[in-house]
Amino acid sequence: MNFELLTTMLKACDHAKGKKNVFTISDEVSLAVLIEAGGAGAAPIPKVESLNLHDAFLELKTVDASYLLPYGNVVGLKWSTRGGSRPSRTGFHA
């Protein structure tokens, strides 16, 4: 990933609003930034609230922590609707 590609992806996401190089995420969705995790594939950093795109690195702020990452470690974005309807499950399920 690089600065230009991540900026284009965030601008394409209806739930990310950006001013200059800072994007905030709508409360309607839960956004995870996917990072390279070696042979295990991509690992998510969940509950991202904002992304600040610096020239050489990415600053993520989540509900619980802040991260500084080089763009090369980022492999994608994943979001889902918060509070979406899920079928209720009752009883014992093996």
Distance CA 67, CA 50 (A): 11
pLDDT of residue 89: 56
Does residue 15 lie in a domain region?
A: yes
Does residue 33 lie in a domain region?
A: yes
Domain range for 39: 3-81
Q: Look at 37 and 24; give whichever has higher pLDDT.
A: 24
Share of the chain above pLDDT 90, in %: 74
Per-residue pLDDT tens over the stretch 36-64: 988 888 999 999 999 999 999 999 999 99
Does residue 16 lie in a domain region?
A: yes
Does residue 86 lie in a domain region?
A: no
What is the value of pTM for the model shown? 0.81
Does residue 89 lie in a domain region?
A: no
Distance CA 44, CA 80 (A): 13
Q: How many domains does the chain have?
A: 1
Does residue 94 lie in a domain region?
A: no
